Amino acid sequence: MLVSVSMTDSAEKPDQILRIDGNSLTLEDVESAARGRIGRFELDEGARVAMERSHDRVLEVVESGATVYGVNTGFGHFAQVRVDGADLEQLQLNLVRSHAVGVGEPLPLEAVRPIMLLRANVLARGYSGGRPLIVDQLLGLLNRDVCPVVPRQGSVGASGDLAPLAHVALVLVGEGEAWVDGSRVEAAEGLRAAGLDPLVLEAKEGLALLNGTQMMTAIGALACRELEDLCVVADIVGALSVEALGARVDAFEPALAELRPHPGQVDVAHHMVGLLAGSELANRHGAERVQDAYSLRCIPQVHGAARDVCRMARGTLSVEINSVTDNPIVLEDGRIISGGNFHGQPIAYAVDMLAIAAADLASICERRVNRLVNPTLSGLPAFLVQDGGLQSGLLITQTAAAALVSETRGLAVPSAADSIPTSADQEDHVSMGAWGAWKAWQAVANCRRVIAIEVLCACEALEFLAPALPAPKLRAFKDRVREMVEPLTADRVLSPDIARLEVALLEGDLLGSGRD
């Protein structure tokens, strides 16, 4: 739960406190943590009590001599091997060390921060058997923005994201590496920077830190939130393209959408009609054009379907961020039961759909870019430049968009349909959700770049239709774009223009105008 507090004069961090209770996180909280918008993280006192109760139950099991998986046994294929009580702390440390097999480039910090937050939130539920000190340690790192170095590759999404979470846990015990102020340092130095001491893990605590879906869920949450925003901007720039191309508005009639009442389609139809109200430019071809190409006419159907995918993914991810994904789980009645809550299949399906939606949204945007720069289709100067031949104008923007769409279609190939057995066939069905989430996030990033290109082209096309103005609700959007990117009067390097628009899209700087 977020709590606002007064910011002191000397404070540089945001003024919000996020209290972790295991039940109240939202996707917006996850995104805020990723972007460094939370001032401080604290463990809720009720959650602290629940964690102490759960840990006491684990200690009772140890003292009773009962055999319980993960508490006093080996792991995976070694589940039948009982471990002597004197070795239980070493068992947990060995688990963390042995599972830290991640490879490849490190995850960006905006992915690692929400991984840490989500793991803390799971533990805070009080069903994992760990001490509150574990969560205090994770939140202490977050509060000082000390992030473990977590290699991106190595998770198959069951038993959760074992390898990435092991690299997070390594730093808690003073091993591995961490990022401090942009520098990659030994974990011990990172802990000192955060004012923390290395943890000594007790029974089950290593396993409690490793079993879970937090990498795929964190990255999936970011992909979902970013695509939700892009769906809104895609409508806005689609409306600008409708104006630039003089397309018909009656295809967006809400009465049509409500005869096929998919929620996203209905939402987009209403949005488009509102955006284009009072347009001087749409419908300008009159009766000579009875209908437009699909990339214009079917905006409610295609953009709306992407919205519906986001709605589905949001529902799945919102459940997951407040779920217990451990194994075994310490129930309130004292039983400790092994199950499969760590399996990432629900998330894997959701992120695969996000990647597909992002690829298709990028595809329809690229088709509108093509129409804008192609004089045969637009009726405007070729490649939106005067003195064509000497000047190439926006010729290659469509080429760049096409390259991005092709790459994104590859990223949209589902991962959840794949499964490679691991751990000597003990883990004989896995979700591949970590790879799916990463692909989805990259697909959304590519979609954002294609939308930035359409923004560039649509606004440039409107320059040739002056003095006619965009529809009233679109003017502020175009004006804001023009504050970032000047009209094209002669050939220039366009990459910086696209990059500025991409950043503005990521940061929400273009969402103020035309939003639902």
Catalytic hit among 69, 127, 294, 349: 69
Buried b (16+ CB within 10 A) or exposed e, 8-35: eeeeeeeebebbbbbebbbbebbbbbbb
SS3 of 388, please?
A: strand
The encoded tokens of residue 195 equal 């004012």
Sheet of 177-180, strand order: 147-148, 177-180, 183-186
Strand residues in 40-94 grouped as ranges (E)? 40-43
Distance CA 52, CA 73 (A): 22
Q: How far is CA 397 from the centre of its chain?
A: 26
The encoded tokens of residue 476 equal 């502020």
Q: Is 294 a catalytic residue?
A: no
The encoded tokens of residue 374 equal 């192609």
Rg over alpha carbons for the chain, rounded to the nearest Å, is: 26
Helices and strands in the chain, H and E counts: 19, 10
Distance CA 429, CA 479 (A): 53
**Which burial class, exposed, middle or buried, applies to 84 when counting CB atoms under 10 A from its CB (0-12, 13-18, 19+)?**
exposed
287's CB contacts (< 8 A; 6+ apart) are none
Strand residues in 354-458 grouped as ranges (E)? none
Beta-bridged to residue 480, according to DSSP, are none
Annotated catalytic residues are 69
